[in-house]
Amino acid sequence: MLKKVLAGIGAGALLFGLSACGGGDDDAEGGADGSLVIGFAQVGAESAWRTANSASVQAAAEAAGHELKFVDAQQDQEKQISAVRDFINQQVDVIVLAPVVETGWTEVLQEAEDAGIPVVLADRGVEAADEDLYVTRLGSDFAEEGRKAGTWAAETFADDADGTRILELQGTTGSAPANDRKAGFFEVLDAEGLDYEIVDSQSGNFTAEEGKAVMETFITTHGLDGIDLLYAHNDEMGLGAIQAIEESGKVPGTDIQIIIVDGSKAGFQAGVDGKLNYIVECNPVFGDQLMDVVEQVANGDSLEKFTAVEESAFDASQFEAELPNRQF
């Protein structure tokens, strides 16, 4: 299996090598100076995290002198698949894919491999069965993010005698961050032996609008009395939920404790305003690191299967000091 991947990389490097010698006349081939043509199939523009990630990758490609063909797939897997197919037809040097969901990639990844074009995953991952069809992934350890949230919750509610009642706003159904942030969180609650109940858990698709709408449904269905904690898989859904909680006459951060993941300026500001209680950082600013990876892949270097970007987590005592450091 490893051989197959290496063959894929080798073919990609060969394509690059030919164009570097000036042998090709395809408009998508890299330049003689080592510049590359990179196709980037981005998830969408659903969050501040995503906007910052797109900007970081675009700026880094420009700074490195590579041509970036950028497609915003509007959170639609079909659009991402067509973008990847277009990149294959254009014979780009490397394809960067941020897969909106984990499943359903085998066919198009196989097409890329057959065309000898290496694929790098940025941010989100694909299911383990497709592991041989991409070279490497650069992004966050989403399960670890979930564990950080779980560790804080288990400590915060350790003495909650009548059990901790939890609402969860999940990210896009079937996406790696939704699956893993959930798994990591409950893994720790179970390991710590916290007495808890998941009162409700629904997807808010990583957007503020859907996060707010789902929270309104939670409030109508369950009320907020006796609910201890809201775990929102990203800032936007948490911020949308905060609006819904305020509109229902309750005080977010006090009547109900709130955890969010990402750590945008808006998220930290809500923390400084006392409206939420814990922020797990997810770092979107990895464009420069991604360009290094893409160059290594084009060069045929061998790489680790996964490189995690560095991330932290912040409680209320740290929000104010950290806010000015936020980049998105």
Binding residues vs ligand GYE (CB under 6 A): 46-47, 49-50, 123-124, 140, 177, 206, 234, 261-262, 282
**Least Cβ distance, residue 318 to ligand GYE (angstroms):** 20
Which tokens in the block code for residue 52? 């910052």
Which residue's CB is nearer to ligand GYE, number 52 or number 224? 52
CA atoms within 13 A of residue 80's CA, in its CB half-sphere:
24
**Least Cβ distance, residue 309 to ligand GYE (angstroms):** 10
**Least Cβ distance, residue 211 to ligand GYE (angstroms):** 11
**Least Cβ distance, residue 283 to ligand GYE (angstroms):** 9
- The count of other CB atoms within 10 Å of the CB of residue 55 is 15
Which residue's CB is nearer to ligand GYE, number 302 or number 327? 327
**Least Cβ distance, residue 50 to ligand GYE (angstroms):** 5
Which residue's CB is nearer to ligand GYE, number 47 or number 156? 47
| Residues listed for the chain | 328
Place of tokens 């951060």: 253
Which residue's CB is nearer to ligand GYE, number 49 or number 134? 49
**Least Cβ distance, residue 62 to ligand GYE (angstroms):** 23
Mark 109-133 as b/e (b = at least 16 C-beta within 10 Å).
bebbbebbbbbbbbbbbbbeebebb
> Distance from first CA to last CA of the chain, Å, rounded?
39
Rounded to 5 degrees, φ, ψ at 327 are -105, 0
Cα 241 from Cα 212, distance rounded (Å)? 4
E runs forming strands in 98-191 = 119-122, 136-139, 164-170
Which residue's CB is nearer to ligand GYE, number 157 or number 286? 286
**Least Cβ distance, residue 238 to ligand GYE (angstroms):** 10
Which tokens in the block code for residue 5? 């991947």
- Whether the CB-CB separation of 230 and 277 falls below 8 Å is answered with no
- List C-alpha distances in Å: 127 to 205, 264, 324: 19, 28, 37
Task: Report helix, strand or coil for 291.
Answer: helix
Which residue's CB is nearer to ligand GYE, number 210 or number 295? 210
Which tokens in the block code for residue 193? 């032996």
Which residue's CB is nearer to ligand GYE, number 169 or number 256? 169
